[in-house]
Chains A and B, each alone.
Chain A
Amino acid sequence: MPYGESHLTLKRIFRVSIFLLAVLAAVFLLALFAGPTPFDAATVFKGIFSLFPFSGAHVQMSESERAILFSIRIPRIIFAGIVGASLSCAGVVFQGILRNPLADPYILGVSGGAAAGAIVAITLGLDSLPFGVTAVAFIGGISSILLVWGLSGSSAERRTDRILLSGVIVNAFFSALIMFLVAVAGSERLQGVIFWLMGDLGMAEKRDILLASLLMIAGFIVMFLHARELNIMLAGEDTALQLGINVKKTRMTLLLAASLLTAGAVSMSGIIGFVGLLIPHIARMLFGSDNRLLLPASLLFGAAFLIVADAIARTVIAPSELPVGVITALCGAPYFAYLMKRSK
């Protein structure tokens, strides 16, 4: 490849995004058929077309089929996409800021902190407020990442193993806190909590989905606007300072955005691990390390991935279903082991 072709252009971002959008659309359509109630293709497509006025599609669907398709299946697929996208973008940012390919919201304890926050909020009855649970989850998430940051030492010595150990400690603490709260509260509200802790996309309501998508969009925009700064920070803090980046401000902004996305996802879907590890990695292998491309690519790819994982979780032991976190951990943990073995 001659000079001038291995750097990123706006055109390449568009091309990759359109390609991944097509993949996402295909995955969305396929996922419509996954679940205990069978649909035939014609019914589904006519059902979707009938949403558009003047389409003239003649629909033969029972009330229950319609309810399953539009009130259960489609919202759930959209929600899976939003959660996958949020966790993947958070993973890109955590990996970049910590300069650590093994970072991920779950491994760093950010998901655990957010989950603990969410459970504190439910215990205190804050779930009656519109953003109560997500707000406290956000506080839990940001405290976790700041703890990990503080525990892993100064920048010169911030080594991979210290970061991961800090994540283990933070995770252990918040898991214990969650178990304590569940045991003490014993309220009916927390009954589904164990299932939720392994990641459950089925509990979200329309209002949650709207909130999560707004958080995802806002967080993504903040991240994308700082993508080039994040690129430079990959070369180290001194280099970033030397090239005129306001390192502290950029780091704090990005960590806040990533924690917000994690909190948005966790407070409504529980702890779904390894998505934020797996997706940025595969996207980096396919499209390179430039965050201006990596962020949108991980957003779309992460959405598609979790939609597929959820479709599998819904069908593999039908008529009952698995928490989607089981599927992501089954894929992610071996991959993590492989990465750890490969890195020195």
Chain B
Amino acid sequence: MEILELEGLSFKYGENWILRDINLKVRQGEFWGILGPNGAGKTTLMNLIDGIIPPWRGVVKIGGTPVGAMKRKEVAKLVAIVPQDASLVFPMTVEEVVLMGRTPHLGKFEFESRRDLEVARRAMEATDILPLAARLIQSLSGGERQRVMLARALAQQPKVLLLDEPTSSLDIAHQLSAFEMIRSLTGAAGLTVLAATHDMNLASLYCDRIALLHKGNFYSQGTPEEALTEKGIKEVYGVNVAVDRHPLTGLPRISLLGGPSSERGSRWKAGAAPHL
């Protein structure tokens, strides 16, 4: 059944439409990659799904219930967002930050129980940050902080996990292990994931489905084969790519060919470079 439904979702800042008439049905356990150029509205889409900003038109339903009709705390038990970075001003330990994820599950004046600690510990194990537990968040690298944010979201034990460029500051080993770990939580394990990302090959490798955002709407959505086409990527990003099947995985492989799509080949033809 559909855990997440977006119906006619539209949003604008001032006079600028960021998203217009977005429709999407996501089944439980699916891993979606949300692709699109900078400013295509990926972050806005995440915030709309979580109900942090109200849509101009349309509705977000989680498990059939409109997000707008739920209390914030109820939404927080169902949906978690991994932001691009942690913006903490004051010194806090990694453990304290991950335990923040337990907030929606705690009573107003309740202290974290042994069970909450256990949930947080598992989240930190999964993201490979347990040895950093007592370190201050300010002392970590960008990649380590991103894994802390992921652990906090996992500690929230959501049904739907939204990732806003979750691997942008990770090295390739941690990118792969992050996607691997997220993948293992989806499917039969039951977690539904939407990840905004710029890496088409990683998305192709790990995502069940991909939606390509273009000027506030989905240019295409479907399996990686369906969504990632040479024509589509050229139209949406304005770059030339070759899409073929990876010889080992059989999945779509996207190779950059360079140059803007308006003129095939390189913009800087021999002799055409400006005098410097």
Contact = CB atoms under 8 A, between A and B. Distances in A.
Interface of A: 1-10, 95-96, 99-101, 225, 228, 231-232, 234-236, 238-239, 241-246, 284, 288-290
B77 A244 contact: yes
Nearest to A234: B90
Nearest to B132: A3
Given A9-B111, A234-B92, 16 more contacts: A1-B134, A3-B130, A5-B134, A6-B93, A7-B95, A7-B96, A225-B108, A228-B106, A239-B100, A242-B50, A242-B76, A243-B103, A243-B104, A244-B71, A244-B73, A244-B104
Interface stretch (B56-64, B81-89, B255-263): B81-89
Contacts of A95: 90
B117 interface: yes
Nearest 7 A/B pairs, CB to CB? A244-B76, A244-B73, A1-B134, A3-B133, A289-B90, A6-B93, A244-B104
Contacts of A3: 95, 121, 124, 130, 133-134
B148 to A, nearest CB: 11
B80 interface: yes
B91 A231 contact: no
B81 A242 contact: yes
Given A3-B124, A101-B89, A289-B92, A241 B72 contact: yes
A243 B133 contact: no
Contact-residue bracket for chain B: 35 or more
B180 interface: no
B91 to A, nearest CB: 6
B126 to A, nearest CB: 13
Contacts, number: 100
A235 B101 CA distance: 11
Contacts of B111: 8-10
A343 to B, nearest CB: 9
B55 to A, nearest CB: 15
Contact of B99 (A7, A225, A245): A7
B103 A235 contact: no
Interface of B: 47, 50, 52, 71-77, 79-81, 83, 86-97, 99-101, 103-104, 106, 108-109, 111-112, 117, 121, 124, 130, 133-134, 156
Dominant secondary structure at the A interface: loop
Contacts of A284: 90-91
B89 A100 contact: yes
Contacts of A7: 93, 95-96, 99, 112, 117
Which of B79, B97, B103 has most chain A Cβ within 10 Å? B103
B75 A235 contact: no
Contacts of B97: 235
Contact of B52 (A4, A232, A242, A290): A242
B83 A238 contact: yes
B100 A6 contact: no
Nearest to A3: B133
Contact of B86 (A5, A10, A231, A235): A235
14 contacts: A1-B133, A5-B134, A7-B93, A7-B117, A9-B111, A10-B111, A99-B89, A228-B103, A228-B109, A234-B90, A238-B83, A241-B52, A241-B72, A245-B103
Contacts of B75: 244
Contact of A232 (B81, B94, B103): B103
B83 A243 contact: no
Which of A2, A3, A99, A234 has most chain B Cβ within 10 Å? A3
A7 B164 CA distance: 27
Contacts of B50: 242
Contact of B103 (A6, A244, A288, A289): A244
Nearest to B104: A244
B100 A232 contact: yes
Contacts of B121: 3-4
A99 B87 CA distance: 10
A244 B90 contact: no
Nearest to A291: B90
Which of A6, A9, A238 has most chain B Cβ within 10 Å? A6
